[in-house]
């Protein structure tokens, strides 16, 4: 169980996300949704030290984790794919994947089966990839490194629908072995099909946290969240 408590974070002196409490049990796939500029990216970035954290704590199975310290979180098996994908442009695909692998952990999916493109282009420099190709490499890296938690910003950015579905099925297979998964996604379709829970964010606060079956039966909270007033 991953627990984030009383997280307040932003940039400089500006608070963007305010007093967020969030729990993700092992094995759950959780999607964070909200309109542009509501603070989704900032919430994720704050966990991994890419913006300023004013207060908060992070624990996994009640053991404290170094909130905002990316190397420390990586050592505990927490991985993050930021919205710029975080790949090393001057390294090949193979080298990017090798650096992400953990010595003691092999995910329950074959990365090259999930993303055949990465096998075909294993010797190519990541910097020569298109945005959608980098997205596949970034997701693969997050899957290899996330032994306990995988966090992905802008999950389906640049992906063909068939590749996005394949990647989400892989994330579900990984989650089933006890990994927690948190993704940010623009639209509700993929979360409604693949996630266990959906969180709604408005102006830096979580305004709902609902199981997907409930939202499938009554999508009104999602509609209200995503419609521009
Ligand atoms: N580097 C930054 N410095 C200052 N303010 C920032 C910075 N990055 C984002 N913000 C502000 O923080 C707020 C939340 O942005 P954030 O990117 O977290 O939202 P988001 O919900 O992820 O939006 P989107 O869906 O457009 O990516 C916005 O008002 C944005 O202008």
Domains of the chain: which residue ranges? 2-84+148-226
Q: Give the confidence band of 229 by pLDDT, cuts at 50, 70, 90.
A: low
Ligand 1 cavity residues, CB under 6 Å: 11, 16, 34, 36-42
CA of 113 to the centre of ligand 1 (A): 34
Q: What is the pLDDT of residue 227?
A: 85
Question: Each residue of 20-34: pLDDT tens digit?
Answer: 999 999 999 999 999
For residue 222, give the nearest of 34, 11, 6, 18 by alpha carbon. 34
Which residues fall within 8 angstroms of residue 107, CB to CB, at 6 or more apart?
143, 144, 146, 174
Nearest CA to ligand 1 atom 26: 36
Q: In which order are the strands placed within the sheet that holds 149-152?
A: 78-81, 149-152, 180-184, 29-33, 197-202, 205-211
CATH superfamily of the 2-84+148-226 domain: P-loop containing nucleotide triphosphate hydrolases (3.40.50.300)
Q: What is the pLDDT of residue 189?
A: 94
Closest ligand 1 atom to 51 CA: 1
Question: Each residue of 55-92: pLDDT tens digit?
Answer: 999 999 889 999 989 899 999 999 999 999 999 999 99
């Amino acid at each position: 169980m991953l627990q984030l408590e009383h997280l307040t974070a932003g940039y400089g002196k500006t608070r963007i996300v305010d007093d967020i409490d969030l729990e993700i049990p092992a094995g759950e796939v959780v999607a964070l949704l909200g309109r542009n500029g509501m603070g989704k990216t900032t919430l994720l970035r704050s966990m991994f030290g890419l913006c300023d954290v004013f207060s908060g704590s992070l624990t996994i199975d009640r053991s404290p984790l170094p909130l905002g310290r990316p190397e420390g979180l990586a050592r505990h098996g927490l991985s993050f794919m930021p919205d710029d994908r975080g790949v090393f442009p001057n390294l090949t695909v193979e080298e990017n994947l090798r650096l992400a692998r953990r010595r003691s952990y092999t995910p329950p999916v074959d990365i090259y089966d999930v993303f055949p493109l990465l096998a075909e282009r294993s010797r190519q420099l990541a910097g020569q990839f298109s945005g959608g190709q980098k997205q596949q490499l970034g997701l693969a890296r997050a899957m290899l490194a996330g032994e306990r938690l995988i966090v992905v910003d802008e999950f389906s950015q640049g992906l063909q629908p068939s590749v996005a579905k394949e990647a989400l099925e892989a994330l579900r297979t990984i989650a089933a072995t006890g990994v927690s998964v948190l993704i940010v996604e623009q639209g509700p379709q993929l979360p409604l099909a693949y996630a266990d829970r959906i969180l709604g964010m408005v102006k830096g606060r979580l305004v709902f946290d609902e199981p997907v079956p409930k939202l499938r039966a009554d999508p009104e909270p999602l509609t209200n969240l995503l419609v521009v007033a």
